[in-house]
């Protein structure tokens, strides 16, 4: 924007060997750090590569991305390294609505015109590595053809039309195969030292956010908060287990037995309140973290269609532009006639699995009755284990099916796609993991079976997860991939970057969140039956923090991470679960040993027990709603900061409008 003709002459100084030139004098620097690697197709012709490099380096007002590009070893190689000059970064920071430290020490929404009043705005540390890499992705994916252009070295059917998204077209033409951010070895080493290789208890969340971005930052922050929040229920669980064991050893004392039985109730009521308070406190922590990470006031943007979206060309009623349109009713029809039946089919397979499990359970019981030995004792656990394995396999298959179904529904926006996919997976996950438990609890009303089942689920699932998630990739990485990827200090930088291509793509946080959600379900829905749940989860999560950190640092390519203000849809999923927990716990209470004994002794009728549970349910839901309303979602100071940011941006807007008016007057006068 600030470039005029005489600036261009001074801007021809090199910015680093091999890099494209910057057009802006303030962005010239001696040394350029490669941030993003673009992997090209093998058959891409050199002229196409040159065209692409030139496009990346062209200023924005001429239709380019205003970034820096480097052709790798030579002009014929199949990689392009990309970096970004200062002005492009700062302009994108304003566009994204990121907040940065102002010279008053407060966070303010960044404004390019006011950049000199922001601390460190001239230095590299102003933006985190993750932010700089995301901005490059944002600029590349936002490239649009200004007019119809034939791309050198490509067939005619890939000619760009006006307003075509260039990066999408390049990807579908096979020119661009992959675009991913590069690891920074030195900073990664530093991060991993303070994160998981020592015995430290707290995670360096700010550094995680700076290196991996706020999406990843929020996941680890939540994992951290959740793990430490497990301490109170774990301690309670240990106490209850201790007292109930003491009670069962000395069953003569009437009072002790009463104490033991009421442990069930204490645990149930406690876990309901705990889950509510936990979610509220997390929201507070999340919002103050969002303030610190500068994502409290992100700009809303009009969403472009996602790459896979297709339809008939028509005028978009929102933008008034020609683009592919897909009628809403057709999408609804596809959902109603295809998606829902298929999802239903899978839910049916869950039920089928459940029936088989009962059949198996009966068989081993019968076997054990006839042939009482250690083997048959062990066999008692076989149906549970088999069923858990079946459940996990079904979940894996379903995940792919859900992906294709959502693809078939042809959503226009990426966010709609993600929401529908998440909803599908969540419904199935709830059903798959919890249907059996609910059936045992409320249809069979068999507390000992429920307890056994819960224990085996907790132990087996966690073992399986740790093995499949970490041990297998670790072994593959060390003994299969690594020998091909020996790396010495003397290798050229390009080769080290190129090596990152061989790492597998990071699979995203979806599976991690699902795992936490299922855990949280066991704990909040059923923990009163098996008080040691929280203890087992606590142990698992302390390990999980380390293994997840190791995984994301070492085993995968670095992922892009868009700035985020919270956990998004997962927050809602956890809240729904903590709501269902109230209902579940109230009904589990009616199965509590104490009430059952009172029923047998004739002190309470069945109706009384049920009415008591209803009353408890309604009262506790009201208490939950009130507690949730009384604890504000944001700490007072964050609320004020947010109001302040909104106020200043409103003021700035008004100022801009009046500035324009003044300018137009001045121009008219001249």
If 0-12 CB within 10 Å is exposed, 13-18 middle and 19+ buried, where does residue 6 land? Answer: exposed
Q: What is the 3 state secondary structure string of 47-66?
A: HHHHHHHHHHHCCHHHCCCC
Question: CB 501 → a second copy: shortest distance, Å?
Answer: 37
With CB under 8 A as the contact rule, the residue among 2, 157, 202, 488 that binds a second copy is: 2
Question: CB 644 → a second copy: shortest distance, Å?
Answer: 5
Q: Which of residues 327-346 bind a second copy (CB under 8 A)?
A: 328
Mark the segment that binds a second copy (CB under 8 A) among 43-51, 383-391, 471-479, 659-667: 659-667
CA distance 73 to 49: 13
For the chain, the C-alpha Rg in angstroms (whole number) is 29
Question: CB 311 → a second copy: shortest distance, Å?
Answer: 15
Q: Output 100 or 641, the one with its CB closest to a second copy.
A: 641
DSSP string covering 613-664: HHHHHHHHHHHHHHHHHHS-SS-HHHHHHHHHHHHHHHHHHHHHHHHHHHHH
Q: Choose among 38, 598, 26: nearest CA to 262.
A: 598
Q: Which of residues 504-563 bind a second copy (CB under 8 A)?
A: none
133 in Cβ contact with 124 (< 8 Å):
no
Structure tokens at 2: 């600030």
Give the CA dihedral 550, 552, 558, 561, nearest 10 degrees. Answer: -140
Task: Name residue, tokens 């609910």.
Answer: 438
Q: Choose among 593, 544, 627: nearest CA to 230.
A: 544
- Host H or E run for residue 179: strand 176-181
Question: CB 599 → a second copy: shortest distance, Å?
Answer: 11
Q: Output 558 or 641, the one with its CB closest to a second copy.
A: 641
3-state SS class at 42: coil
- Which runs of E-coded beta strand occur in 94-173? 99-101, 107-109
With CB under 8 A as the contact rule, the residue among 386, 394, 460, 583 that binds a second copy is: 583
Mark the segment that binds a second copy (CB under 8 A) among 254-262, 318-326, 495-503, 524-532: 318-326
Question: CB 572 → a second copy: shortest distance, Å?
Answer: 13
Q: Output 178 or 413, the one with its CB closest to a second copy.
A: 413
Does 254 bind a second copy (CB under 8 A)? Our answer is no
Q: Output 43 or 644, the one with its CB closest to a second copy.
A: 644
Q: Which of residues 189-208 bind a second copy (CB under 8 A)?
A: none
CB atoms within 10 A of CB 4: 6
With CB under 8 A as the contact rule, the residue among 42, 74, 302, 480 that binds a second copy is: 302
Does 476 bind a second copy (CB under 8 A)? Our answer is no
How many helices (H) and strands (E) the chain has is answered by 24, 8
Mark the segment that binds a second copy (CB under 8 A) among 150-158, 263-271, 312-320, 347-355: 312-320
Structure tokens at 420: 């529908």
Does 598 bind a second copy (CB under 8 A)? Our answer is no
Question: CB 339 → a second copy: shortest distance, Å?
Answer: 15
Does 319 bind a second copy (CB under 8 A)? Our answer is yes
Site string for a second copy, 15-54 (x = CB under 8 A): ----------------------------------------
CB atoms within 10 A of CB 94: 17
Q: Output 245 or 625, the one with its CB closest to a second copy.
A: 625
Does 5 bind a second copy (CB under 8 A)? Our answer is no
Question: CB 670 → a second copy: shortest distance, Å?
Answer: 7
Does 246 bind a second copy (CB under 8 A)? Our answer is no
Question: CB 610 → a second copy: shortest distance, Å?
Answer: 5
Does 105 bind a second copy (CB under 8 A)? Our answer is no
Q: Which of residues 599-658 bind a second copy (CB under 8 A)?
A: 605-607, 610-611, 614, 618, 636, 640-641, 643-644, 646-647, 650, 653, 656-658
275 in Cβ contact with 578 (< 8 Å):
yes
Does 660 bind a second copy (CB under 8 A)? Our answer is yes
With CB under 8 A as the contact rule, the residue among 17, 105, 198, 317 that binds a second copy is: 317
The alpha helices in 380-509, defined as continuous H runs, are 382-409, 414-438, 447-466, 472-475, 493-499
CA distance 575 to 554: 33
Task: Name residue, tokens 């969403």.
Answer: 303
Question: CB 667 → a second copy: shortest distance, Å?
Answer: 7
380 — phi, psi (to 5°)?
-55, -30
Q: Choose among 193, 196, 177: nearest CA to 185.
A: 193
Q: What is the 3 state secondary structure string of 110-126?
A: CCHHHHHHECCCCCHHH
Binders of a second copy: how many residues, by CB under 8 A? 42
Q: Choose among 11, 36, 26: nearest CA to 123.
A: 26
Does 242 bind a second copy (CB under 8 A)? Our answer is no
Question: CB 669 → a second copy: shortest distance, Å?
Answer: 8
Give the CA dihedral 164, 165, 168, 174, nearest 10 degrees. Answer: 50
Question: CB 440 → a second copy: shortest distance, Å?
Answer: 18
Does 443 bind a second copy (CB under 8 A)? Our answer is no
Question: CB 185 → a second copy: shortest distance, Å?
Answer: 39
Structure tokens at 136: 């490059």
With CB under 8 A as the contact rule, the residue among 318, 355, 374, 480 that binds a second copy is: 318
Question: CB 201 → a second copy: shortest distance, Å?
Answer: 33
Q: Output 334 or 554, the one with its CB closest to a second copy.
A: 334
Non-local (6+) Cβ contacts of 361 within 8 A are 383, 384
Question: CB 141 → a second copy: shortest distance, Å?
Answer: 18
With CB under 8 A as the contact rule, the residue among 150, 189, 301, 485 that binds a second copy is: 301
Q: What is the 3 state secondary structure string of 222-277?
A: HHHHHHHHCHHHHHHHHHHHHHHHHHHHCCCCHHHHHHHHHHHHHHHHHHHHHHHH
Q: Which of residues 111-170 bind a second copy (CB under 8 A)?
A: 113
Question: CB 431 → a second copy: shortest distance, Å?
Answer: 14
Q: Output 480 or 630, the one with its CB closest to a second copy.
A: 630
Q: Which residues here bind a second copy, judged by CB under 8 A?
A: 1-2, 4, 113, 300-302, 317-320, 328, 583, 605-607, 610-611, 614, 618, 636, 640-641, 643-644, 646-647, 650, 653, 656-661, 663-667, 669-670
């Amino acid at each position: 924007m600030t470039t005029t003709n005489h600036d261009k002459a001074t801007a021809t100084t090199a910015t680093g060997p091999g890099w494209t030139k910057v057009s802006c004098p303030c962005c010239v620097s001696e040394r350029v750090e490669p941030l993003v690697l673009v992997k090209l197709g093998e058959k891409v012709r050199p002229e196409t590569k040159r065209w692409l490099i030139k496009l990346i380096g062209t200023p924005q007002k001429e239709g380019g991305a205003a970034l820096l590009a480097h052709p790798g070893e030579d002009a014929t190689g199949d990689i392009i390294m990309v970096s970004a000059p200062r002005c492009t970064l700062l302009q994108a920071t304003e566009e994204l609505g990121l907040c940065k430290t102002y010279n008053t020490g407060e966070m303010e929404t960044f404004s390019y015109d006011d950049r000199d009043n922001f601390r460190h705005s001239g230095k590299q540390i102003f933006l985190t590595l993750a932010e700089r890499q995301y901005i490059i992705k944002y600029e590349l994916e936002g490239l649009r053809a200004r007019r119809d252009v034939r791309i050198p070295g490509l067939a005619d059917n890939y000619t760009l039309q006006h307003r075509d998204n260039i990066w999408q077209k390049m990807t579908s033409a096979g020119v661009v195969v992959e675009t991913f951010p590069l690891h920074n070895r030195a900073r990664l080493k530093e991060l991993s030292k303070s994160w998981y290789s020592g015995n430290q208890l707290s995670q360096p969340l700010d550094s995680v956010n700076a290196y991996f971005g706020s999406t990843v930052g929020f996941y680890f922050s939540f994992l951290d908060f959740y793990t430490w929040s497990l301490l109170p229920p774990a301690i309670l669980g240990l106490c209850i287990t201790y007292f109930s064991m003491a009670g069962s050893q000395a069953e003569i004392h009437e009072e002790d037995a009463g104490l033991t039985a009421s442990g069930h109730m204490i645990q149930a009521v406690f876990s309901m309140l705990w889950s509510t308070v936990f979610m509220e406190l997390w929201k507070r922590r999340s919002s103050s973290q969002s303030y610190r990470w500068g994502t409290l006031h992100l700009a809303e943007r009009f969403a472009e269609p996602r790459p896979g979206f297709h339809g008939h060309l028509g005028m978009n009623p929102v933008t008034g532009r020609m683009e592919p349109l897909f009628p809403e009713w057709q999408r609804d029809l596809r959902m109603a006639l295809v998606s829902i039946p298929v999802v239903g089919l899978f839910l049916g397979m869950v039920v089928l699995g459940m029936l088989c499990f009962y059949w198996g359970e009966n068989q081993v019981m019968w076997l054990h009755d006839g042939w009482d030995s250690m083997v048959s004792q062990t066999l008692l656990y076989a149906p549970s284990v088999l069923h858990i394995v079946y459940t996990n396999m079904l979940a894996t298959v379903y995940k792919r099916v859900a992906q294709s179904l959502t693809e078939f529904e042809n959503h226009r926006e990426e966010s709609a796609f993600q929401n529908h996919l998440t909803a599908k997976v969540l419904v199935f996950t709830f059903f798959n993991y919890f249907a059996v438990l609910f059936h045992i609890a409320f249809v069979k009303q068999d507390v000992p079976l429920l307890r056994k089942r819960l224990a085996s689920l907790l132990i087996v699932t966690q073992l399986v997860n740790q093995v499949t998630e970490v041990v297998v990739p670790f072994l593959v990485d060390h003994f299969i991939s690594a020998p091909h990827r020996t790396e010495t200090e003397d290798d050229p930088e390009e080769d080290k970057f190129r090596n990152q291509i061989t790492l597998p793509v990071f699979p995203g946080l979806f599976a991690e969140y699902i795992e936490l959600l299922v855990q949280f379900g066991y704990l909040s829905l059923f923990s009163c039956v098996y008080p040691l749940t929280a203890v087992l989860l606590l142990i698992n999560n302390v390990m999980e923090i380390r293994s997840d950190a190791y995984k994301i640092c070492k085993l995968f390519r670095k992922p892009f991470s868009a700035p985020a203000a919270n956990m998004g849809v997962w927050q809602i999923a956890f809240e729904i679960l903590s709501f269902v927990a109230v209902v579940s716990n109230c009904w589990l209470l009616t199965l509590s040993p104490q009430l059952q004994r009172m029923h047998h002794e004739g002190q309470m009728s069945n109706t009384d027990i049920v009415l008591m549970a209803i009353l408890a349910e309604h009262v506790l839901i009201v208490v939950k709603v009130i507690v949730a309303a009384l604890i504000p979602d944001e700490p007072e100071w964050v609320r004020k900061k947010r109001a302040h940011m909104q106020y200043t941006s409103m003021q700035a807007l008004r100022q801009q409008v009046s500035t324009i008016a003044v300018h137009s007057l001045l121009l008219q006068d001249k």
